[in-house]
Structure formats: structure tokens, C-alpha cells
Amino acid sequence: MVNTTIKTTKSQEVFAAAQNLMPGGVSSPVRAFKSVGGQPIVFDRVKGAYIWDVDGNQYIDYVGTWGPAICGHAHPEVIAALHEALEKGTSFGAPSTLENVLAEMVIDAVPSIEMVRFVNSGTEACMGVLRLMRAFTKRDKIIKFEGCYHGHADTFLVKAGSGVATLGLPDSPGVPKAATSTTLTAPYNDLESVKALFEENRDEIAGVILEPVVGNAGFIAPDAGFLEGLRELTHEYGALLVFDEVMTGFRIAYGGAQEKFGVTPDLTTLGKVIGGGLPVGAYGGRRDIMSMVAPAGPVYQAGTLSGNPLAMTAGIKTLELLQKPGTYDYLERITKKLADGLLQIAKETGHAACGGQISAMFGLFFTSGPVHNYEDAKKSDTAKFGRFHRGMLERGVYLAPSQFEAGFTSFAHTEEDIDQTLTVARDVMSSL
């Protein structure tokens, strides 16, 4: 067991108090460190690739507030843009130029998106796209994949990933059977099972929704041909293909996983990066489908703070920063160095491990693998992952507090940060 070297007195005090005020002391379950054990770190401030906790400890951050901080936390240009926007107010609840600007940037960037609707979270984006795909096809059933997470709306809480997987919840109580009776599930990377579901439910399936690169069952890449196969199957059975790019959007590539893999879905959900750290989600796609969304069409969806000027401002500036030449080459290079390094060190210190990275997203499983789907991921040594997480934390490296999450880099991470992380990892893995 790694000895505790950092002082977490204040984190412990604050977190103890929080547990009397909020369920589990958190605003989102995965933050409670349930699956890795130990004391959650209470943040005081973040900047670039770094976090400082309330005890003054500094960490290199590979969670990046779960994806949004791809430019590094509190980027000076984002902060400056927000200060300027603040002078004009915090919320309009009415059309603003800013929404046009971000909408145009998203439409220009993401191959599938001809029209877009902004909402306030990835969950809302997935809820909106679910209603829309059902309205457009006049079919009710959907196919999702085990271990994929599409937010916490009832219909998606079936063999979901992220916090549901982290807490080992079969599915959530409070979700009526009626809400999930139309949710079909298949193993990720298994085209045969998808074809079988289409055959068994002919003309009843509105569409297939997936994470084109999985981050919520740990990091799982699509096998060659998987995305292309889904594109063909959905065409063949008159169903829609929906990429949930809340996590992969503007991270796997500027145009998302759909640009990287050259497979264009009918609809796409976004979040995280496009808000630059403020609450934003979005769904978009083919004009003929999006034109059904109220008030242009009959499919209702609304939101008080949707298109919020501050969130739009942070998103616009973030995407502008991401457009700088060489950004994604840099992200690919440093993340590959990190992921390859971690696997090499695991091997040299005698731990069965597998994993990988695509652009600024990476993952590590303590299992010989390979990991092609959620079942494979669950075979990994999650207890060892917990000890690894704790050991890294004690030495100033903050990894996602669950085996069933992915890791995120930013262009604020330097070569030195990666080298430091690998040095710490060798120390920890040698004593696991």
C-alpha cells in the first residue's frame, strides 16, 4: 500500500460537512471516489494543466473537468472574453448574436451537423436527440451499447457506463419499466448482435446511439469497420445513426470522431468542450431532421438558459483556440507519449495492462486484455486501479477516480508534465 504523503486535512473537513448537505457530499456521483476509495480532493482553484486543493497541494490534472478543459483550465483568453461578456449581463433568454457565431462554428466543424440546437448539458442533448429520432422515424425502440453513457435520462439508464458502471448499479431504481422497455442493448464492437436486434425488431428501431470512441467504460476504441458497419446497418433498416460526441467532440479531432473515422451519422450530440467549462450541450444533424424541432416543427424541447451568452462566449473562444494550426498534432503526440509510457512501465513492473489513446483521450486497464467491450473492461483489476489512482494522487497526479472513465489531456500539458507523470507512475507501479 502506498503511504499517504499529502496533507488533506481541509479536504476532509469540507467533504465531511458536504456529506450532511448533499447526497454523498457531491454534485455528481463519480466525484465521491467511491470506486477508488480514499478521500476526495476538494478543489480550490485550477489553471492550465494544474489543480490546487484546499490544503494547497498541486496536481497535474488528467480529468480536465471531464473534458471541457482541452485548452487547459482558465485559459487567459477565455477568461478575458468572459470578463467582457459579463459586462453585458449573464443571461438573456432571447436570441443573441453569440448563438449564431457558435452555431456557425459547430456547423462548419462537424460533418453531420447542418443545423444545431443548444441546451445546457450532454444529458439534455441526448434527451433531445432521443425524442427527435423517434419523431422522425415514427419508431420507438433504440439500440445503445453496454457501457456507453448518454446522460442520466431514464431511457438511457440501461447497462450504462460512467458513474452507473463506477458504482456497479444494475440500473437505477425510479426508472419505470415503460421507460426502458424500448431500449435494446448490444456489446460494443459487435456488429452481428446489432444486426440480430434489427432482424428481431424489424421496422421498430428508430436508431442506434453510441459513443464513437468509448470513454465511459474506460477507454475503448472502435474496432476497424465497426462504425462503418453501423452506418450500413442503419441505412439498410431505415434507422438513424446517432454519434454521442459529448466527450469526443472537438477532442478526437476538430470535427470529432466522425471526422477522424470518416463516418457521418445522421445526428450528433455535443457538450463539454463547446462550453469551454460553462454549462452547454447541443444536438444537431441533417437539416430535414432538425427542422422538426420546435418551433420550426412539432418536436418540443426548451430551456431557460439554453444559448446562454457566457457559455456561448466560452465555447466560441475555446473553439477559436483549438483552430490554431498544430493543436491536434501536439495533443496526439503528448497523449501517445503518456499512454505508451504507462503501458511500458506497467509491463516493466510486472502488471498486466492494456489501453491506448486517440488524440487527447486515453485509458489504462489492469488486465492483459484486449478490451473490446464493457464485459472485457469489467474483467480488469479495479482494486489495483484504485491503489494506482491513490498512489498517483499522493504524488501529485490527478487521474479520473474510476476505472470506467477515460483520461484527458490538454494543450496546456507540457512534455515535462508527461515526463513527471511517467516518473511518478513508475514509482507507484513498482509498489502496487
Subset of 37-66 contacting ligand KE4 (CB under 6 A): 66
Q: Which of residues 310-329 bind ligand KE4 (CB under 6 A)?
A: none
Q: Which stretch binds ligand KE4 (CB under 6 A): 37-45, 68-76, 118-126, 255-263?
A: 118-126
User: Of 5, 9, 19, 28, which lies in the binding site for ligand KE4, with binding defined by CB under 6 A?
Assistant: 28
Active site includes 149? yes
Q: Quick check: 246 binds ligand KE4 (CB under 6 A)?
A: yes
Helices (H), strands (E): how many in the chain? 15, 14
Told to judge if 376 belongs to the known catalytic residues of this protein, a careful annotator would answer no
Closest contact distance (angstroms) between CB of 411 and ligand KE4 is 20
Q: Please state at what angle helix 309-322 crosses helix 327-348, rounded to 10 degrees.
A: 80
Contact region for ligand KE4 (CB under 6 A) — 5-13, 121-129, 172-180, 345-353? 121-129
What 3-state class would DSSP assign to 225?
coil
Cell digits for 104?
456557425
Q: With contact defined as beta carbons under 8 Å apart, do 155 and 142 qualify?
A: yes
Q: Of 382, 377, 388, nearest to 345 (Cα)?
A: 388
Of the candidate spans 4-12, 72-80, 115-123, 332-340, the one that interacts with ligand KE4 by CB under 6 A turns out to be 115-123
Nearest distance from C-beta of residue 272 to ligand KE4, angstroms:
7
Compute the distance between CA of residue 152 and CA of residue 63 in angstroms, rounded to an integer: 20
Cell (9 digits) for 326: 498544430
Cα separation, 146 vs 306, in Å, equals 30
Q: Which of 50, 149, 237, 398 is catalytic?
A: 149
Catalytic residue among 272, 317, 378, 384: 272
User: Is residue 303 within 8 Å of residue 119, measured between CB atoms?
Assistant: yes
Is 126 an interacting residue with respect to ligand KE4 (CB under 6 A)?
Answer: yes
Binding residues with ligand KE4: total (CB under 6 A):
21
Q: Could you say which residues in the range 366-425 bind ligand KE4, by CB under 6 A? A: 405
Other beta carbons within 10 angstroms of residue 138's beta carbon come to: 8
Asked if 119 and 89 touch (Cβ cutoff 8 Å), the reply is no
Q: What minimum distance in Å lies between the beta carbon of 122 and ligand KE4?
A: 2
CA–CA dist 33, 203 (Å, integer): 43
151 binds ligand KE4 (CB under 6 A): yes
The least CB distance from residue 271 to ligand KE4, in Å, is 5
Strand intervals (E) in 274-347: 281-285
Q: Confirm if 281 and 153 have CB atoms less than 8 A apart.
A: no
Q: Among residues 105 and 210, whose Cβ is nearest to ligand KE4?
A: 210
- Catalytic residue at 336? no
* Per CB under 6 A, 162 contacts ligand KE4: yes
Q: Does 268 bind ligand KE4 (CB under 6 A)?
A: no
- Could you check whether the bond before residue 187 is cis, i.e. omega within 30 degrees of 0? no
Per CB under 6 A, residues contacting ligand KE4 are 28, 30, 66, 121-123, 126, 149-151, 162-163, 211, 215-216, 244, 246-247, 271, 281, 405
Q: Which residues are catalytic?
A: 149, 244, 272
